[in-house]
């Protein structure tokens, strides 16, 4: 296979699937990881895709796509997400079994877990790519159908795999938080998150303050005793009271503005 043929095939695959990890491309096109990396670097220089840990995502031009694209959302509330991520990562001790949800806030947590000896279960392709070459981590990826723009696996196969496991902690994101609980946009993602909650002893929600007062299509879960909400600012008194009355915990991470 010539270099041009390889580039064309990789570009076609990423345009169709919106996201691809290094190992998948290496297997599909019979190339070494280093060869795939060079191909992705060249495609990035052409403005076709954006490189990140473990793979690449298609750069889309329409604004609706940008709203849901994993990489573009990764740049939002960056300082707040990192402050929250540090506090969440501190709750994870070596030897634990941890479920990691998809989304940019949880990816920020994953970056801080790479040096710990853990068993990780995730439905996030970007997180799986991040951990793919780290020897201290055992990474288990759920089955399921790919939500391309978010880079997550969802659906019946994903839910069934989560029903068969037990974890010390599940670390989840969300689209909004109100007195009723934590919300998310996509019914398939909500169903997956509910299975993650059921499979874990504790659940930590990493939610920056831009999510305060926002409802989405579905209520993922009302607050309960096993939940800890980690955020960067105090929520409204109504939300804080609802968290306390349910027996859940609220932790506010310091930022450089504090």
Q: Which domains does the chain have, with CATH numbers?
A: 3-59 (1.10.10.10), 73-252 (3.40.50.1360)
| Alpha-carbon distance values, 25 to 7, 14, 17, 100, 125 (Å) | 11, 9, 12, 23, 13
The Cβ of residue 34 has, within 10 Å, a number of other Cβ atoms equal to 10
- As a whole number of angstroms, the distance between CA 7 and CA 30 comes to 13
Q: Is the pTM of this model over 0.75?
A: no
pLDDT value of residue 185: 86
Distance CA 154, CA 254 (A): 33
Q: Does residue 54 have a pLDDT over 90?
A: no
End-to-end CA distance of the chain: 56
Burial 53-81 (b: 16+ CB within 10 A, else e): bbbbbbbeeeeeeeebbbbbbbeebeebb
Residue 61 has pLDDT above 50, yes or no: no
Give me the pLDDT at residue 134, please.
Answer: 75
Exposure string over 137-166, b if 16+ CB within 10 A, otherwise e: bebebbebebbbbbbbbbbeebbebbeebe
What mean pLDDT is reported for the chain?
Answer: 87
How large is the average pLDDT for residues 61-83? 53
Q: CA nearest 112: which of 230, 227, 233? A: 230
Which of 17-31, 68-82, 199-213, 241-255 is the least confident region? 68-82
Q: Confidence class of residue 192 from pLDDT cuts 50, 70 and 90?
A: very high
144 vs 70, which has greater pLDDT? Answer: 144
Instruction: Give the residue-averaged pLDDT of 233-241.
Output: 95
CA–CA separation, 187 and 9 (whole Å):
33
Contact 10, 39 (CB under 8 A): yes
- Mind listing the pLDDT tens digit for each residue in 161-183? 999 999 999 999 999 999 999 99
pLDDT score for 253: 87
The pLDDT value recorded for residue 222 is 97
Q: Read off the pLDDT of residues 134-163 as tens digits, 9 standing for 90 and up.
A: 767 899 999 999 887 778 999 999 999 999
């Amino acid at each position: 296979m010539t270099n041009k043929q390889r580039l064309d095939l990789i570009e076609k695959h990423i345009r169709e699937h919106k996201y691809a990890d290094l190992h998948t491309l290496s297997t599909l096109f019979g190339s070494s990881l280093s060869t795939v990396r060079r191909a992705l670097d060249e495609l990035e220089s052409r403005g076709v895709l954006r490189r990140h840990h473990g793979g690449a995502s298609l750069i889309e031009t329409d604004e609706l796509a940008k709203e849901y694209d994993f990489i573009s959302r990764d740049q939002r509330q960056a300082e707040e997400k990192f402050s929250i991520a540090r506090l969440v990562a501190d709750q994870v001790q070596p030897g634990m079994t941890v479920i990691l949800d998809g989304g940019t806030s949880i990816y920020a947590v994953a970056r801080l877990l790479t040096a710990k000896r853990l068993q990780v279960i995730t439905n996030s392709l970007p997180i799986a790519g991040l951990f793919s070459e780290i020897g201290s981590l055992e990474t288990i990826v759920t089955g399921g159908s790919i939500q391309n723009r978010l880079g997550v696996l969802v659906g019946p196969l994903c839910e069934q795999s989560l029903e068969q496991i037990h974890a010390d902690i599940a670390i989840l994101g969300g689209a909004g938080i109100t007195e009723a609980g934590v919300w998310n946009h996509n019914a398939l993602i909500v169903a997956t998150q509910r299975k993650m909650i059921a499979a874990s002893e504790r659940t930590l929600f990493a939610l920056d303050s831009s999510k305060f007062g926002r409802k989405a299509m579905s209520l993922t879960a009302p607050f309960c005793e096993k939940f800890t909400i980690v955020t960067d600012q105090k929520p409204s008194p109504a939300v804080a009271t609802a968290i306390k009355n349910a027996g859940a915990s609220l932790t506010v991470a310091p930022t450089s503005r504090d």
